[in-house]
Amino acid sequence: MKKLSVVIPIYNEKNTIREILRRIDAIKLDGVEKEIILIDDFSIDGTREILSGLGSNYKVFFQDKNMGKGRAVKRGFEEASGDIVLIQDADLEYDPADYPQLIGPVIDDRADVVYGSRFLNSEITSQNKITYRHGFIFSRILNLFSNFLSGLWLSDIYTCYKVFSAGAVRAIITEIKSKRFGIDPEFTALIAKNKFRVLEIPIHYQGRTYREGKKINWKDGLAAIWHIIRFNLF
């Protein structure tokens, strides 16, 4: 039997954490055991108290201070014991019902890494909800810039859903340097550097607003330009 490690970086998600865990628990994967790893990045809204009350079905870890999504993901990788590792945000923008399609290529040894794309032309993505048009346009520009420097032609490097074989995780874990949202272009650069087999799968997506808890902002967008240059050229 294969094991899937679901790594969930969390920061101030008290309104959504119970529901996303319910949705993950509801997904049945034939021949695959789930390991759910929650990394709380020093939440201050009551999320930590919720996590402290979870049962033994979850592996929960608390960062000693707020260090950013990149560090939380790396910590999750370090704690994962699965044959497959999947990154899941703690909000409700991404649908765990996509898990079977996302992990299938890794299980079948057709890919080392799978990205869940919000933008591939498909019946699934035609129904996706993009909340901020200006953010969407800027992310597409950044995506093209990353493609140019990395040599990988991907439609959505900023997707939450990234799936890795255990071998791919072992190959890159000591190289991960990002603290915040630079983790996305860094992952893509590491995939190119290691010549991993990478596939994209269309996924469901329902974007949320800043009022609903969205955290990435224009400063992260500007920083992304440097991250793409840094991780691909240096």
Report pLDDT digits (tens) over 183-221.
999 999 999 999 999 999 999 998 755 565 455 665 767
Whether residue 185 contacts residue 227, with contact meaning beta carbons closer than 8 Å, is answered with yes
Contacts by 137-144 with C-beta closer than 8 Å and gap 24+?
138/221, 139/221, 142/185, 142/221, 142/224, 142/225, 142/228
Q: 145-170, pLDDT tens digit by residue? A: 999 999 999 999 999 999 999 999 99
CATH of the domain at 27: 3.90.550.10
Structural domain for 89, as ranges: 2-233
pLDDT band at 54 (very low <50, low <70, confident <90, very high): very high
Query: Biggest alpha carbon distance in the chain?
Result: 46
Number of domains in the chain: 1
Residue 153 confidence (pLDDT): 93
Q: How far apart are CA 168 and CA 116, in angstroms?
A: 17
pLDDT band at 181 (very low <50, low <70, confident <90, very high): confident
Burial class (CB in 10 A: 0-12, 13-18, 19+), 84: buried
